[in-house]
Structure 1
Amino acid sequence: MSSKPPTEKLPSIFSTQDIVLDTAYQGIDNKNWKSLFRQAREANVEQFIEDLFTGKPVNNSENRPALHSALRNLDKKPVLVNGKDVMPDVVEVWRRIEGLCNKWIGVTDVIHIGIGGSDFGPRLAIEALAHVPDIDSRGMRMHFLANIDTAELNRILQRAHPNSTRVIIVSKSFTTLETTMNARAVVKWLKDNKRNDVQISQALFAVTANVPAAQEFGVAKDNIYPFWDWVGGRYSVWSAVGLPIALQYGFDTFKEFLAGAQAIDQHFKTAPLEENLPVIMALCLLYQQKKHQIKSYAVIPYADALDWFPKWLQQLDMESNGKSVGRDGMPMKYSCPVVFGSSGSNAQHSYFQLLHQGLEIIPIDFIAIREPMSHLSEAKAHHRILLSNCLAQAQALANGKKTDNPNNTYPGKRPSNLLILPKLNAFYLGALLALYENRTATLGALWNINSFDQPGVELGKVLAKPIEAALNKGEAVEANESIDAITAQRINLFINP
């Protein structure tokens, strides 16, 4: 009687560029992994990846490619859009950014005005790289102005020096309401501080696809950096939107940031699905979604430098894949879960009670860095405690604990990934962001969702216009075709408190 040969156990640890992904606590066995990879092939993920990088119109609702990968294509290999190689234009922007870095002298403050994708990426990068030990920095004060609430504007204007401030206005259309209103307020501040028109024009820079609108606003043509319709806002930090990174930390650091992302792109394009980190991360989430009907997931970077990372990821995932209909216009059974998170170990003292003992199973991505982020004498000891907490939380969530006291019982079987970066610098920050960008795109392919448009953000903008007009008029309103009865009542609460 012959016995069956032992089933080969599929690996749970994957790596590229010294980045390690450990999926052991996902609880996915060989049979399910094989099924997941079969689903990926049935969803034509491999063809989707090829289409993504070769300029096919993967944004089918707007008939556009999604070629943010071209922005970090440091090899300068041709990338065609409608038969035209876009790389010469990209390279020209690199040349101009480097030139600006070399001549931007005596600047104390930079006010970067943008919202959404024009804000999250550069804000995250500036904050994260500020923690890199011994990084070469100009030490300028980088102010990010996004909110239309004047509290943020006022705080910035109280700190900035008008005579040595530069202003970067970032808007693809140059019509974004929050951005243009904030930009006008900053220009007024410059005028109020005795800056003349020539000085103001020299202080203003713009990143936009609408060059005429930027010029009409008062930005000199030489200070306008182009944006292309094949780049979505939430994927734009690799473009001139990332100017603050180069200006603060130097063009070489900006290139390292691009190089990290390019390395992940190469891996995503060439690795088989069974070894492809973005694909494997996407399949982990898909598995938990189908098995447990999860409605949310958490990302917990055990690095204070990455505290902004979950906020960046919220836009990336939920604006890309937070949809109820697929590419074919049909209703979807699955789409993007709610994304939340913050840096560990702070997060443990906030919502980890829910993660351990709540009714809902919430998968987690733990992100850890091998090296401490400072040269303090206490750094190694503190970092050892930090990593211990990261590993312990994953173990406790997975294994749980049974006791006679229900209050002290942990159900366990809470899935998680562990992502390990060898260090946090510009290269690995770029790699981390590109890893999640490509994972988000893979999820869109698996769900048959267009990850590159965002029609859901428009309705509220349209409805805000008649409401603002009513508030400005200052008279009681009644419900009409633009304002429903409840909103009319609420408007009147502001007009007549």
Structure 2
Amino acid sequence: MSLNPASENPKSVFRAADIVLDSAYQGIDTKSWQSLFAQARSAKVEQFIADLFAGKHVNASEDRPALHSALRNLDQKPVLVDGKDVMPAVADVWHRIEALSNKWVGVTDVIHIGIGGSDFGPRLAIEALAHVPDIETRGMRMHFLANIDTAELGRILQRALPHSTRVIIVSKSFTTLETTKNAKAVVRWLKDSGRTESQIHNALFAVTANVPAAKAFGVQEEHIYPFWDWVGGRYSVWSAVGLPIALQYGFDTFKEFLAGAQAIDQHYRTAPLEENLPVLMALTLLYQQEQHGIKSFAVIPYADALDWFPKWLQQLDMESNGKSVDRNGKPVQFSCPVVFGSSGSNAQHSYFQLLHQGKEVIPIDFIAIREPMSHLPEAKEHHRILLSNCLAQAQALANGKQTDNPNNTYPGKRPSNLLILPKLNAFYLGALLALYENRATILGVLWNINSFDQPGVELGKVLAKPIEAALNNSATVAADANIDAITAQRINLFNS
């Protein structure tokens, strides 16, 4: 049985910036949509959107705006933060990025050091755009160094050529442990390779909100690219955090990336709720929570170029909205489900068994691209097969199949959205990321959650310090105020 009988089908196809959203398989009838829009208005979604773009302090716990949209405000219309227009400072960084992207000659390797929001966005963009047919590229090797595990560091240093390497250290605070430790290791490698102090200084660049700390580390002031406390790390790829995009593919490509995001922002800001793609996508998830108590959500891009997209979305969604209390400190009824996914059709041969016949209902966003991603002779045929798999999986999940054999019965009524991009290039990649960013903020409003802080990541960092000290000492460890009995026992296992 279909999720939406034809007689009950409301409008299901919507468009923004040439991206199509088809929500027909969500199983939401007209009456339910009306109720969802009433909930959105009750939650003051429209007022939130206006406040967000106006630079109001929507991040209440940290008493600051969340103005990542200003970073892609290519029209440079004034954006005020506490009465001051931030656009001149943003535009100055654009000019500096453009100048640097036109300047580098003979660079073979770029080591981009950052973790979390300082890593996922630029890594995703570099990987995705590498698949765009005929894209202009400088052909530098872009290495992303995030993990404190030296295996990643070792692989990079084995490949990079020290005398033609540039290093970009990305940290909003410039105190992130993994980033600073990895940066020091790369500087040591440059020294051991025979580079002089002057050459090392010329090779180091930084992107940070803490300019004094970057200077103290040894980065020349003219090599420091600022971003601001009103930019959250997971929303920061539009800032100088996205510098690798301009360096590898040119500043015009970086501008196209920003332009795609800006196009979605303009839609998000002006479209009525009933036509607003980020709002509609947020409401479909809320509906499935209310109807089925869903605990997980999958995003499946039928494009190998977007294989990193689910990883980026995991941080965006779960760090923004993975909370159990609301803005007022009260328990929430719903918050962010577990996010997972990978590229189709590979995913079909992994966990789609669970999606089709598992006990849990897991909503899915399918993402498809109209045009093939190569000029190979087989491209059109392969792409047709890829798209047919995408459409077939959505249909099978929605309609299911009843048989006399329980093992071959598919329950169906598994909801999904379909997003269609005209092609994958910098513009539509930017639009796609901004679409999900804005969706995440709307979900925060609907759940009454602050989508712009992340206090839950701090406790483990604090506890890691005394544990590291204990691991550095061969003496037997006993439980104390900082280390409980089980962890003390585990430290002793490592130290024995």
- Fold equivalence (TM over 0.5): yes
- Paired with 2:248 and 2:298, the residues of 1 have a C-alpha distance of 31
Partner of 1:386: 386
CA displacement 1:138-171 (0-9 Å, x = unmatched): 0000000000000000000000000000000000
Partner of 1:456: 456
- Paired with 1:346 and 1:429, the residues of 2 have a C-alpha distance of 21
- Paired with 2:147 and 2:222, the residues of 1 have a C-alpha distance of 28
CA displacement 1:181-236 (0-9 Å, x = unmatched): 00000000000000010000000000001111111111000000001000000000
Matched, 1:35 2:45: no
Cα deviation, residue 17, structure 1: 1.6
Partner of 2:114: 114
Cα deviation, residue 14, structure 1: 0.3
Partner of 1:153: 153
CA displacement 1:398-424 (0-9 Å, x = unmatched): 000000000000000000000000000
Partner of 2:60: 60
Partner of 2:353: 353
Cα deviation, residue 7, structure 1: 9.2
SS in 2 for 1:169: strand
Matched, 1:336 2:322: no
Partner of 1:246: 246
Q: Which sits farther off after the overlay, 109-118 or 473-482?
A: 473-482
**Unpaired runs of at least 5, structure 2:** 1-5
- Counterpart AA for 2:331: P
SS in 2 for 1:103: coil
- Counterpart AA for 1:183: A
SS in 1 for 2:472: helix
Counterparts of 1:38-437 in structure 2 under 5 Å? 38-437=38-437
- Counterpart AA for 2:109: D
Cα deviation, residue 274, structure 1: 0.1
- Paired with 2:8 and 2:481, the residues of 1 have a C-alpha distance of 65
SS in 2 for 1:252: helix
CA displacement 1:322-356 (0-9 Å, x = unmatched): 00000111110100000000000000000000000
- Counterpart AA for 2:158: Q
CA displacement 1:126-149 (0-9 Å, x = unmatched): 000000000000000000000000
Cα deviation, residue 8, structure 1: 9.1
- Paired with 2:140 and 2:474, the residues of 1 have a C-alpha distance of 43
CA displacement 1:259-284 (0-9 Å, x = unmatched): 00000000000000000000000000
SS in 2 for 1:473: coil
Q: Which sits farther off after the overlay, 8-17 or 159-168?
A: 8-17
**Unpaired runs of at least 5, structure 1:** 1-5
SS in 2 for 1:61: coil
In 1, are the aligned partners of 2:110 and 2:165 still within 8 Å (CA)? yes
- Paired with 1:53 and 1:136, the residues of 2 have a C-alpha distance of 33
CA displacement 1:292-342 (0-9 Å, x = unmatched): 000001000000000000000000000000000001111101000000000
In 1, are the aligned partners of 2:138 and 2:249 still within 8 Å (CA)? yes
Cα deviation, residue 475, structure 1: 1.5
SS in 2 for 1:420: strand
Partner of 1:479: 479
- Counterpart AA for 2:427: F
- Paired with 1:205 and 1:237, the residues of 2 have a C-alpha distance of 16
- Counterpart AA for 1:48: F
- Counterpart AA for 2:413: K
SS in 1 for 2:312: helix
In 1, are the aligned partners of 2:262 and 2:431 still within 8 Å (CA)? yes
- Paired with 1:431 and 1:9, the residues of 2 have a C-alpha distance of 28
Cα deviation, residue 474, structure 1: 2.0
Return the TM-score normalized by structure 2: 0.98
- Paired with 1:201 and 1:399, the residues of 2 have a C-alpha distance of 61
- Paired with 1:443 and 1:495, the residues of 2 have a C-alpha distance of 45
SS in 1 for 2:419: strand
- Paired with 2:341 and 2:363, the residues of 1 have a C-alpha distance of 11
CA displacement 1:8-54 (0-9 Å, x = unmatched): 96310001121100000000000000000000000000000001110
- Paired with 2:485 and 2:17, the residues of 1 have a C-alpha distance of 57
Return the TM-score normalized by structure 1: 0.98
SS in 1 for 2:234: helix
- Paired with 1:446 and 1:332, the residues of 2 have a C-alpha distance of 11
- Paired with 2:474 and 2:314, the residues of 1 have a C-alpha distance of 36
- Counterpart AA for 1:306: L
In 1, are the aligned partners of 2:8 and 2:29 still within 8 Å (CA)? no
- Counterpart AA for 1:351: Y
Cα deviation, residue 473, structure 1: 1.5
CA displacement 1:356-414 (0-9 Å, x = unmatched): 00000000000000000000000000000000000000000000000000000000000
Partner of 1:3: none
SS in 1 for 2:206: strand
Equivalenced residues, count: 491
Partner of 1:465: 465
Cα RMSD, aligned residues only: 0.9
- Paired with 2:347 and 2:57, the residues of 1 have a C-alpha distance of 40
Q: Percent identity?
A: 83
SS in 1 for 2:339: strand
- Paired with 2:102 and 2:409, the residues of 1 have a C-alpha distance of 60
- Paired with 1:150 and 1:46, the residues of 2 have a C-alpha distance of 47
Say if 1:437 and 1:352 are closer, same or farther in 2 by CA, change over 3 A.
Answer: same
SS in 2 for 1:279: helix
- Paired with 2:191 and 2:284, the residues of 1 have a C-alpha distance of 54
In 1, are the aligned partners of 2:9 and 2:24 still within 8 Å (CA)? no
